[in-house]
């Protein structure tokens, strides 16, 4: 199934032609019928001679309703440009052609309506005017058919031309991620909320859980229809009416995108390739306020030009759109920008979740060029670079590739060493991906951080893991995934709560070694009551503790490891024989002072060797 969208100036007979072709009046609003002018989108359908059923979106032609026109033409396969023979090309003809060109609509038929009102010579002039209007656009060279909705002239030829063109039109691709930009939301008695739109990029199924983006409301598909025919499943490219349960129709506005939950993340900043329409009276300038139209959405934005200060009519530039409200788009989507009732230009989305760039920054411009036109491999590399470490699902969204294609390409890239997978292959839940250069940079930074730490604290076994995580600027979950791989690759060595460079070994200087030996001699001379004013500096003492030479039981109380073990063994034995022990017992047992006995017992409480019961201790 394919979708056709009309285009053309007001009063050129678009709705009348649609009714003549389909028997359906697309002007559904009472005001439209009273004024005989299309205001909002209208919908009709017909079956071609070859049996294909097609949908037709009829758009308003008045300049005041271009916004409504834009909401309907985003997902069409072919345009039906209507030019009245008695008026020829008019301002909205030109603007609609410019919009279709910006949206890269390449299949078009030109219907010269009201052909019964003019002679052959005049008809030839109108066709020539229409040809000039299409020249230099994606619609150049489009076939033209003269028709009259009143007499039926040319209608069969027009239907035949539609059939021929659509037979050569590919169906929309299916990446398994359905998107239905909502262009209408209403309620049907006995059924509830119904939304309509053109389904792109995926399938919808009866009973499926769905999400509306950017509002992130969830619902379930209660019913599916195309052209009033019920469906179990809707394929890409169809006009679809979706009956939803779990959401009220007043909660769904035009511009929402109906999709499956969890994958489509709205954005407020996107990088784009911008083209200015050729007929602009003035250039597009940096930091202009514009209205962005894409799909059925309409959002105010500020336009930041990245490689120039102004885009001349017909020119192009790299730009970033900073949006005033979240927008649900994917890479490759087309858009139009307008301001003051005038179509300024448009183009395609290159990077959906864009960071702020420095203007005139060559590396940023080069990356965007690859993101726009590069191969799948180049696209994946640049997408990983932009978000290292990249998570697979986010990477697929950013590159707008199918998961299967991305997984196959990444597997080959990993084998060749172009990417580094953190995990089994980088594509599973919680697994991450780096470019080879990004991984080397990470390893270099980890070594630099630890090297600086070792230089500052040469006698410490290693840096706390949290210190390394913080200096690398990583989230805890990401760091937990990456640390084992850094260790497996020999970049770091992990020891308990610390991490160090593999080659790092704490080493005392000769003077520090002398002072440490003197301290140990003092401890051995007074094993149970060592002086508290003879300890070496804090770093040396910490190293002696790490080596197992001493045990700190308090801020100022340090025992030799030998004396400490003797004391613990005797205390255990005493409690085993007597059931308990007091601080006074410990003082008398080792002929020491209460200060040492109390520090030792509080330490054993902390180590869960003993437990205090009143004034005594028992074994845990």
Q: How confident is the model at residue 37 (pLDDT cuts 50, 70, 90)?
A: low
pLDDT value of position 174: 82
* Residue that finishes a domain, picked among 213, 234, 259: 259
Residues 287 and 352 both lie in one domain: yes
Query: Helix or strand or coil: residue 182?
Result: strand
> Are residues 106 and 31 part of one domain?
yes
In the prediction, which pLDDT does 375 show? 87
Q: What is the 3-state secondary structure (H, E, C) of 235-280?
A: CCCCEEEEEEECCCHHHCCCCCEEECCCCCCCEEEEEEEEEECCCC
The residue from 453, 475, 507 where one domain ends is 507
* Among the ranges given (126-135, 434-443, 513-522), the one the predictor scored with the smallest mean pLDDT: 513-522
Buried b / exposed e along 271-289 (16+ C-beta atoms within 10 A)? bbbbbbbeebeebbebebe
Give the span between the Cα atoms of 166 and 3, in whole angstroms.
9
Examine the domain organization and report whether 11 and 87 are in the same domain.
Answer: yes
In this structure, of 371-375, 409-413, 470-474, 577-581, the range with the lowest mean pLDDT score is 371-375
Residue at a domain's end among 507, 533, 567:
507
Query: HEC string of 77-118?
Result: CEEEEEEECCCCCCHHHHHHHHHHHHCCCCCEEEEEECHHHC
> Would strands 217-226 and 239-245 be described as parallel, antiparallel, or unpaired?
antiparallel
In a domain, 185, yes or no: yes
**DSSP per-residue string spanning 344-358:** EEEEEEEESSPPP--
Judge whether 174 lies within some domain: no
In-domain check, residue 289? yes
CATH number, position 232: 2.40.30.10
pLDDT tier, 468 (very low <50, low <70, confident <90, very high otherwise): very high
Residues 6+ apart with CB under 8 A from 373: none
How far is residue 149 CA from its own chain's centroid?
Answer: 47
Give the highest mean pLDDT range of 9-13, 59-63, 580-584: 580-584
> Which tokens hold the place of 477?
């979950």
Residue 32, pLDDT above cutoff 60? no
The pLDDT tens digits for 78-135 are 999 999 999 999 999 999 999 999 999 999 999 999 999 999 999 999 999 999 999 9
Q: For residues 38 and 536, what is the distance between their CA atoms, to the nearest angstrom? A: 91
- Name 440's bridge partners: none
Q: How many helices (H) and strands (E) does the chain have?
A: 18, 34
CATH number of the domain residue 89 falls in: 3.40.50.300
SS3 523: helix
Within 10 angstroms of residue 236's Cβ, the number of other Cβ atoms is: 22
DSSP classification of residue 200: B
Residue 533: the pLDDT is 79
Residue 55 CA to residue 24 CA, distance in Å, equals: 11
Cα dihedral value 66, 70, 76, 82, nearest 10? 10
Residue 173 covered by a domain = no
Q: Edge-to-edge, what's the strand order for the sheet holding 144-146?
A: 42-47, 53-58, 3-8, 78-84, 108-113, 144-146
Residues 280 and 252 grouped into a single domain: no
Distances (CA, A) of 251 to 16, 186, 326, 412: 33, 10, 16, 46
CB distance 81 to 142 below 8 Å: yes
Please report, for the domain that includes residue 608, its CATH number. Answer: 1.10.10.10
Q: Are strands 616-619 and 581-582 parallel, antiparallel or unpaired?
A: antiparallel
- In this predicted structure, what is the pLDDT of residue 329? 94
Rounded CA-CA distance 400/352 in Å is 10
Residue 387 or residue 473, greater confidence? 473
Domain extent at residue 299: 267-364
Query: What pLDDT was estimated at residue 30?
Result: 67
Indicate if 204 and 273 belong to the same structural domain.
no
Same domain, 79 and 160: yes
Q: Tell me what percent of the residues of the chain surpass a pLDDT of 70.
A: 97
Q: Give the residue-averaged pLDDT of 417-423.
A: 90
Going by pLDDT thresholds of 50, 70 and 90, the confidence category of residue 544 is: confident
The number of beta carbons lying within 10 Å of the beta carbon of residue 67 is 15
What confidence category does residue 27 fall into, taking pLDDT thresholds of 50, 70 and 90?
confident
Query: Cis link prior to 214 (omega < 30° from 0)?
Result: yes
Structure-derived torsion over alpha carbons of residues 588, 590, 591, 597, reported in degrees to the nearest 10 = -70
SS3 content of the chain, % helix, strand, coil (to 5): 35, 30, 35
CB 266 within 8 A of CB 327: yes
Q: Is 111 contained in some domain?
A: yes
Residue 369 falls inside a structural domain: no
Number of domains, the chain: 5
- When pLDDT is cut at 50, 70 and 90, the band that residue 513 belongs to is confident
Of 75 and 605, the structure prediction assigns the larger pLDDT to 605
User: How far apart are alpha carbons 383 and 368 in whole angstroms?
Assistant: 10
Indicate whether 10 and 157 sit together in one domain: yes
pLDDT in tens, 553-574: 887 889 999 999 999 999 999 9
Between 342 and 428, name the one with better pLDDT. 342
Q: Quick one: 243 and 321 in the same domain?
A: no
Q: Name the region of 136 (left: φ>0; alpha: ψ -120 to 50; beta: rest).
A: left
* 8 Å CB contact between 73 and 2: no
29 pLDDT above the threshold of 90: no
pTM for the structure as a whole: 0.74
Shared-domain flag, residues 379 and 360: no
Q: Does 172 map to a domain?
A: no
| 149 and 25 in a common domain | yes
Distance CA(137)–CA(89), nearest Å, equals 15
What angle do helix axes 465-472 and 476-488 make, rounded to 10 degrees?
A: 110
Residue (of 478, 458, 453) closest to 468 by Cα position: 453
Maximum CA extent, the chain: 127
606: Cα separation from own chain's centroid: 48
Which of 62-71, 79-88, 463-472 bottoms out in mean pLDDT, i.e. has the lowest?
Answer: 62-71
Inform me whether the pLDDT recorded for 505 exceeds 90.
no
Q: Characterise 423 by phi-psi region: left (phi > 0), alpha (psi -120 to 50), beta (else).
A: left
Q: 91-102 and 120-134 helices cross at what angle (nearest 10)?
A: 40
| pLDDT tier at 467, thresholds 50, 70, 90 | very high
Question: Strand pairing of 419-422 and 316-327?
Answer: unpaired
pLDDT at 158 over 90: yes
Query: How much is the mean pLDDT over the chain?
Result: 90
With a pLDDT cut of 90, the percent of the chain lying above it is: 67
190 and 327 belong to one structural domain: no
Q: Is the peptide bond before 389 cis (omega within 30 degrees of 0)?
A: yes
- Is the residue at 388 inside a domain? yes
Same domain, 156 and 246: no
- Mean pLDDT of the 440-465 span: 92
Compute the average pLDDT of residues 320-324. Answer: 97
């Amino acid at each position: 199934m394919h979708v056709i969208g009309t285009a053309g100036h007001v009063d050129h007979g678009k709705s009348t032609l649609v009714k003549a072709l389909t028997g359906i009046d697309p002007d559904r609003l009472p005001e439209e019928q009273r004024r005989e002018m299309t205001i909002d989108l209208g919908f009709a359908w017909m079956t071609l001679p070859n049996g294909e059923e097609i949908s037709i979106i009829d758009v308003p032609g008045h300049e005041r309703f271009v916004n409504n026109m834009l909401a309907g033409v985003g997902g069409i396969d072919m345009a039906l440009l209507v030019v009245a023979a008695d008026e020829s090309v008019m301002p909205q003809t030109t603007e609609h052609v410019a919009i279709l060109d910006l949206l890269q609509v390449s299949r078009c038929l030109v219907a010269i309506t009201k052909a019964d009102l003019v002679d052959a010579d005049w008809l030839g002039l109108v066709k020539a005017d229409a040809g000039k209007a299409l020249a230099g656009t994606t619609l150049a060279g489009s076939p033209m058919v003269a028709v009259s909705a009143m007499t039926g002239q040319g209608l069969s030829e027009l239907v035949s031309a539609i059939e021929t063109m659509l037979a050569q039109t590919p169906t929309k691709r299916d990446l398994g991620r359905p998107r239905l930009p909502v262009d209408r939301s209403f309620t049907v008695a006995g059924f509830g909320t119904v939304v309509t739109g053109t389904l792109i990029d995926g399938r919808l199924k009866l009973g499926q859980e769905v999400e509306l983006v950017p509002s992130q409301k969830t619902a379930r598909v209660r019913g599916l229809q195309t052209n009033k025919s019920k469906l179990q499943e809707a394929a890409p490219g169809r006009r679809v009416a979706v009956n939803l349960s779990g959401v009220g129709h007043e909660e769904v506005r035009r511009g929402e995108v109906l999709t499956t939950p969890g994958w489509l993340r709205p954005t407020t900043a996107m990088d784009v390739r911008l083209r200015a329409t050729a007929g602009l009276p003035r250039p597009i300038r940096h930091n202009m306020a514009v209205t962005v139209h894409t799909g059925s959405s309409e959002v105010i934005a500020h336009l930041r030009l990245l490689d120039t200060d102004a885009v001349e009519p017909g020119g192009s530039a790299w730009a970033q759109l900073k949006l005033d409200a979240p927008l649900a788009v994917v890479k490759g989507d087309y858009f139009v920008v307008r301001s003051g009732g005038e179509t300024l230009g448009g183009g395609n989305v290159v990077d959906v979740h864009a960071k702020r760039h420095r203007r005139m920054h060559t590396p940023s411009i080069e990356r965007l060029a690859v993101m726009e036109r590069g191969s799948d491999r180049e696209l994946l590399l640049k997408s990983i670079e932009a978000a290292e470490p990249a998570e697979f699902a986010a990477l697929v969204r950013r590159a707008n590739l199918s998961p299967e294609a991305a997984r196959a390409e990444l597997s080959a890239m990993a084998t060749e060493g172009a990417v580094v997978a953190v995990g089994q292959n980088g594509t599973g839940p919680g697994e991450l991906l780096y470019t080879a250069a990004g991984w080397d940079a990470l390893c270099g930074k980890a070594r630099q951080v630890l090297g600086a730490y070792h230089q500052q604290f040469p006698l410490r076994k290693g840096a706390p893991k949290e210190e390394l995580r913080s200096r690398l600027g990583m989230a805890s979950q990401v760091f937990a995934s990456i640390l084992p791989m850094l260790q497996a690759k020999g970049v770091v060595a992990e020891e308990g709560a610390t991490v160090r460079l593999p080659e790092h070994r704490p080493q005392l200087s000769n003077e520090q070694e002398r002072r440490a030996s003197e301290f140990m001699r003092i401890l051995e001379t007074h094993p149970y009551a060592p002086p508290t004013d003879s300890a070496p500096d804090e770093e040396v003492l910490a190293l002696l503790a790490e080596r197992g030479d001493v045990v700190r039981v308090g801020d100022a109380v340090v025992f030799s490891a030998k004396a400490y073990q003797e004391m613990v063994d005797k205390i255990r034995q005493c409690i085993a024989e007597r059931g308990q022990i007091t601080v006074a017992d410990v003082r008398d047992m080792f002929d020491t002072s209460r200060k040492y006995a109390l520090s030792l017992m509080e330490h054993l409480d902390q180590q869960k060797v003993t437990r205090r019961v009143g004034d005594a201790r028992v074994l845990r």
